[in-house]
Structure formats: structure tokens, C-alpha cells
């Protein structure tokens, strides 16, 4: 183990890296800009994100992670290589790397993540399941024989898991998360106001005035888009209750999944969850009223972690500082 060791959360929307003893050292959108002709990577992260939707013909900006898994291995490898180099700055000691992966990754997919990370410059690679990393990041002592339930509402997916004794007992995943919420807002505005708005606008509205439950004041916001019939720029105001209306179907599906996992929990673990509450993490858990929505639907207390966007990476990093814990929670390499 060395001071260069890092934990990586390769999210659909954000890539985060936690370095031993230093904390979060990278937090960038999972976007790259590549040249169409030479396939060369021109920019990554924030810089590439600014090119999304605005790129000239010979540059494409893309997100190499889809629905929580790597869709473009070669590009992911290049990103990791770039970030690892940035972190270890000239030292020759290769880092040990903990990579967080979805709970239901197949053996072949695990192998591919390991290869990608090794090619990017890692000495040893450990895989740990995202819900476990989230729980560690949230400060839960996962070695205890108590059931804990974690709901991670990210960009591409929501991952729900019940863990006990360092392992996953029940889990499920649904392709609903922050991106789906943005899409739903775009559709709603298109249907109701006949205006086309972009993804960035939709995300902005969601973060600024969106809510998942009917609490708090009804805020409003001016949005700008393109009128469908005339094709001209147009603006209108939209309110929090309209956003809630737009998100209703997605939120309902999410709740059905959450209840499904709770129903599959062994009774002893259900009892623990009732005592301790459900831990909520992931960027989209920041949507106002998300905790209240889940609390109301399940009757179980819901605790949103303090820093839901960095929680998984933090958990990965903390596991590096505790070799016995890492041994316990890392997944096998076998395919």
C-alpha cells in the first residue's frame, strides 16, 4: 500500500477519485470530447462538458458510462490514465486502486473493469460494490451483523441494496435517476408549452426548483427554449408543482422498486432497517422532498447522507485505509 492509493467512483454523470489521506482529489463530469477523424481525446471532464451539444462537426462529446456501467472501455481507460497521471504527478509508484462497480456486474464485466484499470496504470485493482462503498462512506460499520438499507439515486440508475456483515443480501436496480428526471421535464414542457428546452436547462430547473414531494413553497423559474411551431426563441415560467407533476411517473416506478426490495428482506433485517432507517445517497437524492417521498411510501425513516455525491468515492477511499475491511468487501476476480 502506498500514499498514491486511490478509490474511484466511475459514475454515469460524475467521476470521483478519493486519494488516501487526502480525500476527494477529482470530481469531474464523466464526459470526453474526441476528434471524429483521429479519435484522439481532446478534453475530459469539465472542459469536455462545456462542449456537449455545442461541438463543431469534427468533435464529438460523449459519456463513456451508460446506466452505471462502462460502455466505452477504451475511452474510460484513457480518462483513467489521464487522471491517475494527474494524481501521482511524476512519482513512479503505481497506485493500488479500488473501483466501485454496480452490485449486479457479471464476471466478464468485472474482468473488463479490472483490465481497464490495470491498463490505466494501477498496480493492483480491487472491486467493491457501490452500495457497500456508499455505506462505508456514510460512516456505517458494515462489519456488524445488522441490516442496513442503502438507496443510491444517481444519474442513470437508482440502486437499492440491503447489506449485512459486509455483503449484499438483497439488491435491485432501475434505470431511473437524475437523467430520467431531466428527460421527463423536457417532455412535460414540450407537451404543455410546445417549447423545446435543452438538457442543461432541464437539469438546472430540476436542481433549482424541482421537488419529489409536495412540501415547501411553490417556487417558479423562467425557462428559455425554442417554440415548436415558429422555431423562435421563447420563454415561460414553470413552477415546482409542475416539475413534481412531470416527475410523477418516474418517482412512482422508483417507489415500487424500493418497496419490492424491502419486501424481499429477511424479517430480522427488516427489523434492523425499521430501527435504523434507510440511507439515501447519490446526486439525485438532493432533489427536494426525495427523503420525504420515500419515508411516506415505506413508513421507514430516511436519512440522506451529508455529501451524497461524494459518498461512494469516499467509501472506496476509506476501505484503502483499512486493509482488513478491504479484504472483506472486495469482490473476487474470478470470471
Footprint of ligand ADP on this chain (CB under 6 A)?
Answer: 11-14, 154-156, 178-179, 203, 206-207, 282-284, 286-287, 309
* Number of Cα atoms under 13 Å in the Cβ half of residue 198: 7
Which of 6, 7, 11, 234 lies at the binding interface for Mg ion (CB under 5 A)? Answer: 11
Tell me the three state secondary structure of residue 176: coil
Chosen from ligand ADP, Mg ion, none, partner binding at 185 (C-beta under 5 to 8 Å by type): none
Contact between 137 and Mg ion (CB under 5 A)? no
Q: Which is nearer to ligand ADP, 155 or 317 (CB)?
A: 155
Distance in Å, CB of 174 to ligand ADP, minimum = 13
Contact between 154 and Mg ion (CB under 5 A)? yes
Reported as type and span, the H/E element at residue 237 is strand 233-239
Alpha helices of 277-310 — where are they, by DSSP H? 290-298
Distance in Å, CB of 173 to ligand ADP, minimum = 11
* Number of Cα atoms under 13 Å in the Cβ half of residue 73: 12
Reported as type and span, the H/E element at residue 108 is helix 107-119
At residue 227, what are phi and psi to the nearest 5 degrees? Answer: -70, 130
Chosen from ligand ADP, Mg ion, none, partner binding at 13 (C-beta under 5 to 8 Å by type): ligand ADP
Distance separating alpha carbons of residues 26 and 23, to the nearest angstrom: 9
Stretch that binds Mg ion, among 9-17, 35-43, 47-55, 57-65 (CB under 5 A): 9-17
Residue with cell 421527463: 184
Chosen from Mg ion, ligand ADP, none, partner binding at 29 (C-beta under 5 to 8 Å by type): none
Chosen from ligand ADP, Mg ion, none, partner binding at 206 (C-beta under 5 to 8 Å by type): ligand ADP
In sequence order, what are the beta bridge partners of 220? 239
Binding site for Mg ion (CB under 5 A): 11, 154
Amino acid at each position: 500500500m502506498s500514499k498514491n492509493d486511490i478509490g474511484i467512483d466511475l459514475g454515469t454523470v460524475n467521476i470521483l477519485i478519493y486519494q488516501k489521506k487526502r480525500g476527494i482529489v477529482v470530481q469531474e463530469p464523466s464526459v470526453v470530447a474526441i476528434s471524429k477523424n483521429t479519435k484522439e481525446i481532446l478534453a475530459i471532464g469539465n472542459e469536455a462538458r462545456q462542449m456537449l451539444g455545442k461541438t463543431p462537426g469534427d468533435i464529438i462529446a460523449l459519456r463513456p458510462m451508460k446506466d452505471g456501467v462502462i460502455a466505452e472501455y477504451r475511452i474510460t481507460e484513457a480518462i483513467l490514465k489521464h487522471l491517475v497521471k494527474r494524481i501521482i504527478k511524476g512519482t513512479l509508484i503505481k497506485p493500488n486502486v479500488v473501483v466501485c462497480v454496480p452490485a449486479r456486474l457479471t464476471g466478464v464485466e468485472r474482468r473488463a473493469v479490472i483490465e481497464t484499470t490495470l491498463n490505466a496504470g494501477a498496480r493492483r485493482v480491487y472491486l467493491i460494490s457501490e452500495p457497500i462503498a456508499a455505506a462505508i462512506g456514510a460512516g456505517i460499520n458494515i462489519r456488524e451483523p445488522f441490516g442496513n438499507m442503502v438507496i443510491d439515486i444517481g444519474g442513470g440508475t437508482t440502486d437499492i441494496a440491503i447489506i449485512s456483515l459486509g455483503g449484499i443480501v438483497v439488491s435491485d436496480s432501475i434505470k431511473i435517476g437524475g437523467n430520467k428526471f431531466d428527460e421527463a421535464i423536457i417532455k412535460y414542457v414540450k407537451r404543455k408549452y410546445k417549447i423545446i428546452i435543452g438538457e442543461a436547462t432541464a437539469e438546472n430547473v430540476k436542481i433549482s426548483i424541482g421537488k419529489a414531494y409536495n412540501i415547501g413553497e411553490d417556487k417558479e423559474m423562467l425557462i428559455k427554449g425554442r417554440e415548436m411551431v415558429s422555431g423562435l426563441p421563447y420563454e415561460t415560467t414553470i413552477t415546482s408543482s409542475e416539475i413534481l407533476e412531470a416527475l410523477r411517473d418516474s418517482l412512482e416506478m422508483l417507489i415500487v422498486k424500493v418497496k419490492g426490495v424491502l419486501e424481499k428482506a429477511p424479517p430480522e433485517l427488516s427489523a434492523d432497517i425499521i430501527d435504523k432507517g434507510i440511507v439515501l445517497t447519490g446526486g439525485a437524492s438532493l432533489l427536494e422532498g426525495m427523503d420525504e417521498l420515500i419515508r411516506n411510501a415505506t413508513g421507514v425513516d430516511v436519512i440522506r447522507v451529508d455529501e451524497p455525491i461524494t459518498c461512494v468515492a469516499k467509501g472506496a477511499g476509506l476501505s484503502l485505509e483499512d486493509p482488513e475491511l478491504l479484504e472483506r468487501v472486495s469482490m473476487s476476480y474470478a470470471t
